[in-house]
Structure 1
Amino acid sequence: MKLYYSTFLNCLFIFLISSSFALAKVNEDSLLPAKKIEKLNAQLKTLSKQDLQRLGILLQIGDIHLLTASFEQAASAYKEALTLANAQQQNNWAAQATQKLGFLNVQAGQIDEGISLLLQTADYFKSNSQTRYLIENYNQLGIAYAQISDYFKSPEYLYKALQLAEEAKNEYWLAETHRNLGIFYTQIGDFPKALEFLEKSLKVAEKINSPIFLGNICNNLGGVYLNLKDYLQAKKYFDKSIQIREQYQQYAALSGVYQNLSLVYAAQKDYVKAQDLLEKALEISQQQSQNWTTFSIKINLANVLLRQNKLKKAEEILQENLPAIQKNGLKALEKDVMYNLAEVYKSKEDYQKALTYYERYKVMEDSMYFAQKHKLLAETETRFALQSKEKEMAMLQSEKESLFNVNQVQKLAIVNNQLIIISLSLLFVVLVSVLIFVYYRIRLKNKLNQALEIKIAERTQKYEMLNEALQKTNQELDTFLYKASHDLRGPLASIDGLANIGLMETQDEKLRNCFQLQKGILQKTEELLFRVIEIGEIRNHKVRLENTDLRKYFNKLVRSHNRTEGYKFMDFRVSVPDELFLTTDFDMLDIVMDNLVRNAIQNSFLCHNDSTNSRGLIAIEVVEKPNRWEINVTDNGKGITEEVAPKVFDMFFRGTDGFQGFGLGLYKSNIAISKINGIIELVSFQHNQTCFRVTIPKQEALAKAA
């Protein structure tokens, strides 16, 4: 498989460069090249030879030919645009046309000439602050240097492009530069680094919704995974790239992806599928006149046929295309043909011919390797010599400046020495003064700290004594209220009994009304005593944790208020995550939530009843936070004024005279929620909306409270 992958890498790298250069400039209409060129040529015919509108049209035509690897037609269009731009002194257009000729030369294999043109235009774009074109130029220079295996300059230009793209915040060129860096690292075999850059490019391509660009990146990722022998991932990305190409009829690029995907099947020894894909790729390539790609596909097809032992067909394809490949000077492909022919004749047991082609292959491989090696060596020596000259010049300049300044230095030396002695003397005096000052300052500070610590200790002891006395007083007060409430219930029950006897013994309507009023007052008094006793029980309550389905709990809570006045005018919305089980003391939570829901119904009923012909809405929402649960109870009733809001949790406080109750509900709720380390707060009291929030710690904090 060695040769097969060699052919693949050559083809893949050229294809990646082509798509990188051309797709950046060709709009979506160019996905149908023949029709687009026909339309553009028709526009040219309507314009005079000197019309500046021809410049943009000619560059578009060249881009489309470049995309389809029609190099001669692309060169013709670019040169005509360059001639017109120079004649009309349109420097910017001339620079663009020169830049495109640089792309073309690189793709056509004339790397040195291409780099020269790209460097020329890079200087122009840099001096004229045309960042967009400069980013494009640096990208192309990076790819061009990679083609000639200059792995010093290639990343240098690519990272320059990356820096400019980040500064310009141009997402397209940022993604394109990441992609080109991925291609570079793929070529040098650093596949983890290649994946890192290609995946960055993929994210941006998905963000800017560029399907054509996305197709290119998927093809690049498939190539990396193919080299990593992760055939499942490679196939996934090649399939996705094919899907995008077919959807947008990007046939020129489709042939390359088919060829790449065939390598996956060939590596898995599914030669039938590989052959089918290569034949599809060949058909598209021939339609698009992609000469280099067509030869590459045919060589790969012959390789697949060879592995299926279809030796005659493989030999015919290789022998048929060898003269054309030699004529076009495609040395890398010619070398691959020699190797494949040697393999064919070896399989046929014609060892004489096999040896002949092996020797030709070896000679070409060695000559290409040493030619490249000598070229790189010469460039390295030239750079080294240039750096040596620059260092020598810098040293001479430095010596000259040193000799020029030596007299001044000697004259200043004596003055400097005198100044140093004086400065040191003054510094010594100042230092001694500072040390004395700091010493006395520290002593004073220590004395003040000691005095302050004594005062703090005295006050702390005093506050602790006051706090203990206050706690004792509060406990005694709670005990008194609790016992007094219990003791008062007996006499009140007796008075209620006497009132019942009075109602049974008299028929006088006035007396009966008095007894009824007496019973009503007694009932309210008993209810008040019950609330006071309940507060005492809450204060003395021992926390008991239990785990309960919160959605079921709130649904049951809402139904329990079906007899509360105004319930039938209310709509309830309970928002609780599915299958949420909360661990807490539900006796305490029930006291809080029962009061909040009851208050919400009463508050909303004031605005939504028979007279308003509207319905109230009470929303219960549970929100999970990192270490707590938040329960929001919101109603669309009358609301609470700013004057009343700070007092709602006070004992016996009622917001309005018409409020039914003793003003103990929220006070009692505040005590209950504190038992489970929670809090209750009024978070919104705007007109027509009131929202209370209950915050409950999660299980770990509650366990500590228990």
Structure 2
Amino acid sequence: MVKKIEFLLVGNRGEKSLSDYRRAVLTGYCILVSFTTALYYIIVNWLYNFNPAVYFYYILIVILPIALWLNRMGRHWFAKSVILLIVNFVVFAFSSREPPVPSAFLFFIMCSLMALVLFDAREKKSTALFLSLSAGLYLLARFTEFSLVPPRPIDSEYLVKAYNNNLVIVYSFSVLAVYFLVKINYTVEASLEHREKQILEKNKILTKTNEELDRFIYSTSHDLRAPLNSIEGLLNLSEKTNEAYDLKMYHQMMRERIRKLESVLGNISQYSKNAKLEIEKKHINLKEYVNRALFDVRYMEAADRVRVDVDIPDSVVVETDPMRLSIILNNLISNAFKYSDQAKEDPYIIIRGFLASSRITIIISDNGEGIDEDQQPKIFSMFYRGTTRSTGSGLGLYLVKETVEKLGGSITLSSVRGRGTTFTVVL
């Protein structure tokens, strides 16, 4: 109901700030209060049949809808100015003939409050102007004989009733005005608190990003330069020999350096995509994507000796980002093959996947080399290499963790040196 009234008074919020919107709503309520008060006194004076200046209320009734229309059209300053001008004018008209007992004079308090609460800090001149107008009209009505309406006889009983009525109206409006001011203040404080939290969070992210960028530039430049230097050295060696065996060996070594470059560039590309691209969720058959990742590693060294068991029902479908899911699976599965223990009689990789509580759980276990306990807390760090056998860029597991977190998931590690490793991903 309240929302409907606010829409009637202001229309859509549009691009207004919440504070401006609240003041626009308060302007609308001021118009309603003024309109209702004028209508009330029209009825009272019609019943008593003694007010010769009731047409001032008619003027108020006609002009207030214009102020409401301006407010709905977004011309809030004009709407506030119109209502303050017309209300001050009508209050002065009736208070100028009142006896010293404050009856109509009470409405000057309402006029002053309206000037204070309707204009914000950017409109100080408007606030001062209308406060001065209300004060000036009060002094003119209270201490001079000037009047816009003819005098009328007022009995003391009616004067008391009018005073009580006006006191209730002014008190109610004052409570309404203070309530809106408190609400606006609370909204601003909540907004500032929220922005402060956002700024602190962004500062943390920025600090982390700067640190990662420094490491990224240093490590990638080294990882890119080292294979290029090796290739250049191998080219120099190949130019000095005509032996077919030596040339074949040099070419093979150059291919290995090129694959290393491709690996580094691939990780950089994946890192960039994960950081910049928006999440695009689709319904994905998990087993199908696991099989794709296995297909991509089929030519890795000794891959044919590793037994792979996939325990994922064909019906398991997950709603997630396809590109990011591929990054997670490709890196974890390729690492499981890369660090498999070929000395064992039955090296294996077991991949399981299942739905639980509307989330997908992926578990990749192996009986490979395992990870030392002291290295496990560092394993997801950027450019960290936990073993001398590592020939990659050191971005793989860092990229997996960043990707999982980007999808709102979690990844945990369980490993024993010499017995194997288990990664558990929950998305």
TM-score between the two structures when normalised by the length of structure 1: 0.28
Q: Which protein has the bigger helix share?
A: 1
Q: Which has the larger radius of gyration?
A: 1
TM-score between the two structures when normalised by the length of structure 2: 0.45
